[in-house]
Amino acid sequence: MKKPWAGRFRGKTSRVVESFTESVSFDYRLWRYDIEGSIAHAKMLGRQGIITGEESEKIITGLREISRDIENGKFTFKQDLEDIHMNVETALIKKIGDTGGKLHTARSRNDQVALDLRLYVRAETREIMSLIRAFQKTLLDAATKHLNTLMPGYTHLQRAQPVLLSHHLLAYTEMLDRDAERLNDSLKRTNQLPLGSCALAGTSLPVDRDYVAKQLGFEGISQNSIDAVSDRDFTIEFLSASAILIMHLSRLAEELVLWSSEEFRYTELPDAFTTGSSIMPQKKNPDVAELIRGKTGRIYGNLASLLTLMKGLPLSYNRDMQEDKPPLFDTVDTVKSCLIVLRDMFPGIRFNTERMRRTAGDAYSTATDIAEYLVRKGVPFRKAHGITGRIVLHCIEKKKRLEDLAIKELKAFSALIGKDIYDFLAPEESVKNKNSQGGTSLREVTKQIRRLRRVIGEKSVKRKE
């Protein structure tokens, strides 16, 4: 196949080089955006009189046909045509003749690939935002269901203080909220039109970049053509927001692995989302959660790949930048699959609420409540902490729980202790009293649920296109 740039060459490209330099095997995924961008460009060329209205229409009709061919699997992507851009352009010329050769007027593959990528990242960012919202909703439903389920809250993976399971789940909803915010924030920088920058210097032809931007739903246009063809910040921002997002999913996955172990026995994962062992018949493994945790490494790697790829590049476009796509596509696919599998698995998770409640009261988990009780009686906190520590030690020695102590035993540690202390020893009471903003009391957790439901409702992605 004759290459669009063959004019200046006498010899043929080596086969080895063709397969080494091609990108169509992966950038074919951009076809929809490539054609969408070309249609907007062709409209502008016709409108500006750079080509005739008739030529513009002919090109657009041809592009729409190619789009249908690709959709119906009737299009063959050719490796010797390098990339998606030259594949589409060559097919257009084949379809409509010489007029097809006018499409690439006032354009270069450098601004074209930047455009395609921005359209792709924009669409996938929106898609991922709505998957985040869907998963948040699932978490909120579970949180609403477990408003009365007590569990031990942990620090250092040691039982620390009783909390509501609901509160624990909502912590993830908060993380995901920041993730959606981060993606949304990056969108305004992604949503800028680079087309019209051409190879790097702009063009002498009378293009109307604002018109193209409007056609394609961009918020604005890039301001420096050299920057526009060199810039992959928007991709790096996307990969970075995705790395933080999957870090959160990985922490949740880790908890699901722990919680479904015999040691914890807090959750049972649904059969449809677990797998068996080929040798141990009794096993039910949390592979889905493990894989989410495992895939996190790749997502971090993809970010590191792109940062490294870009760091030494002189301005403006360099072919190195073609290597931005595999990590980008991989992050998009991986993050989406993790969100989908979590969204679908979560409603089927059974929480062993009885065991959670039982363990919530173990390990002297309400000791801090005794200290706060003493503070309310006027004891300085540091002293109250010391007294309570000695009470706990006494319990350990006598093999008693805090609530088993007689009032006489308690009074021996501080004369300020009265019978009302028993109101503070049960985990239910402990939780009920945590009324500080954002705390674990039912009142505060209900507020958090209400706020998050509103956030999700309000901020759920509005599709503009």
Residues belonging to the active site: 156, 277
- Residues 199 and 315: their CA atoms lie apart, in Å, by 12
Helices and strands (H and E) in the chain: how many = 18, 6
Q: Report which of 218, 236, 441 is spatially closest to residue 327, judged by C-alpha positions.
A: 236
Residues in touch with ligand ARG (CB under 6 A):
23, 27, 83, 109-110, 113, 319, 321-322
- Measured from the CB atom, the residue of 326 and 386 that comes closer to ligand ARG is 326
- Measured from the CB atom, the residue of 228 and 256 that comes closer to ligand ARG is 228
In the complex, the smallest distance separating the C-beta of residue 82 from ligand ARG, rounded to whole angstroms, is 6
446 is written with which tokens?
Answer: 């209900």
In the complex, the smallest distance separating the C-beta of residue 207 from ligand ARG, rounded to whole angstroms, is 19
Angle at 145 between CA 142 and CA 148, to 5 degrees: 120
The residues facing 151 across adjacent strands are: 163
In the complex, the smallest distance separating the C-beta of residue 33 from ligand ARG, rounded to whole angstroms, is 13
In the complex, the smallest distance separating the C-beta of residue 234 from ligand ARG, rounded to whole angstroms, is 15
Instruction: Give the distance, in angstroms, between the CA of residue 182 and the centroid of all CA atoms in the same chain.
Output: 9
Burial class (CB in 10 A: 0-12, 13-18, 19+), 302: buried
- Measured from the CB atom, the residue of 84 and 339 that comes closer to ligand ARG is 84
- Residues 105 and 59: their CA atoms lie apart, in Å, by 12
- Residues 323 and 417: their CA atoms lie apart, in Å, by 69
How many residues are present in the chain? 465
* Residue given tokens 């996307």 in the structure block: 238
- Measured from the CB atom, the residue of 116 and 177 that comes closer to ligand ARG is 116
In the complex, the smallest distance separating the C-beta of residue 113 from ligand ARG, rounded to whole angstroms, is 4
Question: 312: which residues sit within 8 A by CB, 6+ positions away?
Answer: none
- Measured from the CB atom, the residue of 43 and 109 that comes closer to ligand ARG is 109
In the complex, the smallest distance separating the C-beta of residue 232 from ligand ARG, rounded to whole angstroms, is 10
Helix axes 31-47, 84-96, angle to 10 degrees: 50
Q: What is the largest CA-CA distance in the chain?
A: 102
Burial class (CB in 10 A: 0-12, 13-18, 19+), 183: buried
- Measured from the CB atom, the residue of 115 and 431 that comes closer to ligand ARG is 115
